[in-house]
Amino acid sequence: MTGWLERHIPKMVLAPSFAAVLVFVYGFIIWTAWVSLTRSRLLPKYEIEGFIQYERLFNAPRWDTAMSNLFVFGTLFIVISMVLGLMLAILLDQKIRTEGVLRTIYLYPMALSLIVTGTAWKWIMNPGLGIEAMVRGWGFESFTFDWVINPDKAIYAVVIAGVWQASGFVMALFLAGLRGVDGEIIKAAQVDGIPAWRIYTAIIIPSMAPIFLSAFIVLAHLAIKSFDLVIALTGGGPGYATDLPATYMYTMAFSRGDIGQAASSAMVMMGVVFAIIVPYLYSELRAKHD
Amino acid sequence: MTDLTLDPARPATRNWSRIGLRWLLFSLLGLFALFYLMPLFVMITTSLKSLEEIRTGSLIAFPREVTFDAWRTAWSEACTGIQCEGLRPFFWNSVVIAVPAVAISTMLGAANGYVIAQWRFRGANLIFSLMLFGCFIPFQVVLLPMARMLGLMGLAGSIPGLIFVHVIYGIGFTTLFFRNFYVTIPQDLVKAAKVDGAGFFRIFWSIFLPLSLPIIVVTVIWQFTQIWNDFLFGVSFSQAGTQPVTVALNNIVNSTTGVKEYNVDMAAAIIAALPTLLVYAVAGKYFIRGLTAGSVKG
């Protein structure tokens, strides 16, 4: 008996957590998938009706806006954060005495809640009192910076705040990558008289491919889940100009009482995340086994 | 360490262009430092100004007269909807949510990581993969069933309910941290201890836990910032009295009644951010390690 117990204790320790994950992650995903196929409104119904919710979803102009916003926001947010992060990392890599201080400054936004970030930038970009008023105060009377309240530009205001929040983190990833490059190869290249910029573009940056991938995954993941930032910065507005799938889902679930729509939009979000994450996790886990 | 600087190679012009380049380098780095610091600077200065000064002055001007009124209002008087008690009660809600949720999810993660890394059994890797995967789902996909589940459990809108949610969705990450830390410890250690007659728990308590301080620090910081900064679960699963500080901050800023008090908004934002900023200032190294460990596995 004690032998049996002794052998099975590890599994028994792991079991509650695993059971919780099975129910609260996988079970819940199945529940949401199921409900997304029903006519559920305020309360869930469980008779499967087919893909009506998805048809409604793809015909809704608001969802259309949310998806194209996600595309615009996601692309700009990822590209700018990566370019900025890489640039800052290379600049910081030039043996600078104040590196520690600068790194701390670039990275601190990542410690903040997106609600705080949104609140701060909402104030800074407020046309009446923020940057616009400041520049006008300097004498440029016709200067306008009203992105945050302009339906055509508001999504770019979200990009600014998002990049401010996340680029320092990308910098930290890249800096760690730069420090991990084999110094011998670089010395050899220097001895051969290859200029520094060539060493970066031909040797160092290509060798950091896995870090680019990690940064991309994290940023894409952040972009798709973005919810707090939009809520705090624009509230999804003006109108629904800055809606993202995450805010659409929330509106349907908790203010419109349209559970079927909420579930189908959540499933589409999950599809997008998985299309990015699954190949990545698969290759990571495979690499570990070899 | 890359031994590389952007020095030009030609010796004749070396000194001058070297100085020029260094100058350019520092100006760029400085400009970016200003970009990252600007919001914090604006938040702090705005919170110390009077409303009159905000209306007439410039965004980036220092306050002419420093006043802490906005801070007092933000802490104990500002209105979040119909309630006008400031951030104080919500700040404590966040503390009461975060402390047990961090503690419980860290303990579970330590135990799970220990099992997965050191007591391998058939299927352990599959279990780990499934748990890891759970970290990456968009939480929108569990919001609706979770709301119903909390209702069934009698925890809807309550603080224990929020603690429960944070623990459940924190396990994946905490397990990942501890597992990655414990796989680096040689398995022979466990074998030797077993020969000496130590059991599963004995080995954990006497050998593994004492080695675990660094990873406990990383996990606690990661979990604390995640939970403190959470908004989605907070706004979905709380009600009037049980909201965390992020939700209350959003309500203060977006409440439409009365005169817009920007200085109070900024003071409230800083108060909501203080705990995680403090963690970052005190344990930045571990904060970064947590960030990178959560993204680059292994």
Chain B residues touching A130 at Cβ < 8 A = 59
Distance from C-alpha of B219 to C-alpha of B231, rounded to nearest angstrom: 20
Place of tokens 């490059």: A181
Cβ-contact A203, A90 below 8 angstroms: no
Q: pLDDT tens, A85-104?
A: 999 999 998 888 888 899 99
User: What does the pLDDT read at residue A31?
Assistant: 95
Task: Determine, for residues B8 and A195 on separate chains, whether the beta-carbon distance falls below 8 Å.
Answer: yes
DSSP A144: -
pLDDT above 80 for A169: yes
Choose among B36, B136, B228: nearest Cβ to A106.
B36
The token pair that represents B137 in the structure block: 């789902």
CA separation, residue A126 to residues A27, A187, B49, B83 (Å): 44, 51, 17, 26
Rounded to an integer, the average pLDDT of A210-231 is: 88
Among chain A residues, CA nearest to B228: A113
A249 close contact with B: CB closer than 8 A: yes
Cβ-contact A170, A82 below 8 angstroms: yes
Q: pLDDT tens, A10-36?
A: 899 999 999 999 999 999 999 999 999
User: What residues 143-202 of chain B have any CB closer than 8 A to a CB of chain A?
Assistant: 143-149, 168-169, 171-172, 175, 199-201
Cβ-contact A99, A171 below 8 angstroms: no
CA separation, residue B133 to residues A94, A269, A274, B107, B179 (Å): 38, 15, 10, 20, 15
Cβ-contact B215, B178 below 8 angstroms: yes
| Residue whose C-alpha is closest to residue B135's, from B108, B175, B97, B101 | B175
Strand partners, B80: B83
Distance from CA of B12 to the nearest CA of A (A): 16
A169 close contact with B: CB closer than 8 A: yes
Task: Determine, for residues B253 and A232 on separate chains, whether the beta-carbon distance falls below 8 Å.
Answer: yes
Contacts of A278 (CB under 8 A, 6+ apart): none
User: What does the pLDDT read at residue B296?
Assistant: 47
H helical segments located in chain A: 2-21, 28-35, 52-59, 61-92, 99-107, 114-124, 131-137, 154-180, 183-191, 196-198, 205-207, 209-225, 228-233, 245-250, 259-289
Distance from C-alpha of B47 to C-alpha of B267, rounded to nearest angstrom: 5
DSSP code string of chain B: --------S-STTHHHHHHHHHHHHHHHHHHHHHHHHHHHHHHHHHHTS-HHHHHHS-TTSPPSS---HHHHHHHHT--BTTB-S-SHHHHHHHHHHHHHHHHHHHHHHHHHHHHHHHS--TTHHHHHHHHHHHTTS-THHHHHHHHHHHHHTT-TTSHHHHHHHHHHHHHHHHHHHHHHHHTTS-THHHHHHHHTT--HHHHIIIIIHHH-HHHHHHHHHHHHHHHHH--HHHHHH--TTT--HHHHHHHHHH--SSS--HHHHHHHHHHHHHHHHHHHHHHHHHHHHHHHHHHS--
Distance from C-alpha of A192 to C-alpha of A185, rounded to nearest angstrom: 11
Cβ-contact A71, A220 below 8 angstroms: no
A258 close contact with B: CB closer than 8 A: no
User: What residues 7-46 of chain B have any CB closer than 8 A to a CB of chain A?
Assistant: 7-9, 25-26, 28-29, 32-33, 35-40, 42-43, 46
As averages over each run of 10 residues, the pLDDT of chain B (298 residues) reads: 50 71 89 94 91 82 86 86 85 96 96 92 88 87 94 93 96 92 89 87 91 92 93 92 93 80 91 94 84 58
User: What does the pLDDT read at residue A289?
Assistant: 56
Distance from C-alpha of A255 to C-alpha of B236, rounded to nearest angstrom: 11
Confidence of residue A207 (pLDDT cuts 50, 70, 90): confident
Choose among A137, A172, A186: nearest Cβ to B4.
A186
Task: Determine, for residues A32 and B265 on separate chains, whether the beta-carbon distance falls below 8 Å.
Answer: no
Contacts of B218 (CB under 8 A, 6+ apart): B177, B286, B289, B290, B293
Cβ-contact A175, A89 below 8 angstroms: yes
Task: Determine, for residues B39 and A120 on separate chains, whether the beta-carbon distance falls below 8 Å.
Answer: yes
User: What does the pLDDT read at residue B14?
Assistant: 64
Cβ-contact B291, A103 below 8 angstroms: no
Task: Compute CA A95 distance to the chain's CA centroid, rounded to the nearest angstrom.
Answer: 31
DSSP A98: T
The token pair that represents B180 in the structure block: 């990655």
Question: How many CB atoms are closer than 10 A to CB A97?
Answer: 6
Cβ-contact A252, A258 below 8 angstroms: yes
Chain B residues touching A95 at Cβ < 8 A = 5
Among chain A residues, CA nearest to B34: A105
The token pair that represents A1 in the structure block: 């008996």
Confidence of residue A277 (pLDDT cuts 50, 70, 90): confident
ipTM of the complex: 0.89
- Residue A168 three-state SS: helix
Strand partners, B83: B80
- Residue A46 three-state SS: coil
A42 close contact with B: CB closer than 8 A: no
Choose among A17, A112, A176: nearest Cβ to B175.
A17
Chain A residues touching B175 at Cβ < 8 A = 17
Task: Determine, for residues A119 and B5 on separate chains, whether the beta-carbon distance falls below 8 Å.
Answer: no
Chain B residues touching A221 at Cβ < 8 A = 136
Chain B residues touching A231 at Cβ < 8 A = 231, 235, 250
Chain A residues touching B231 at Cβ < 8 A = 113-115, 227-228, 231
Task: Determine, for residues A269 and B138 on separate chains, whether the beta-carbon distance falls below 8 Å.
Answer: yes
Backbone angles phi, psi at A46, to 5 degrees: -115, 10
Question: How many CB atoms are closer than 10 A to CB A100?
Answer: 11
pLDDT above 90 for A140: no
Cβ-contact B84, B264 below 8 angstroms: no
Distance from CA of B16 to the nearest CA of A (A): 17
Name the residue type at position A282: Y
The token pair that represents B109 in the structure block: 């993660």
Contacts of B191 (CB under 8 A, 6+ apart): none
Distance from C-alpha of A169 to C-alpha of B99, rounded to nearest angstrom: 25
Name the residue type at position B104: I
Place of tokens 């604390």: B224
CB-facing half-sphere around the CA of B35: CA atoms within 13 A: 17
Contacts of A34 (CB under 8 A, 6+ apart): A46, A48
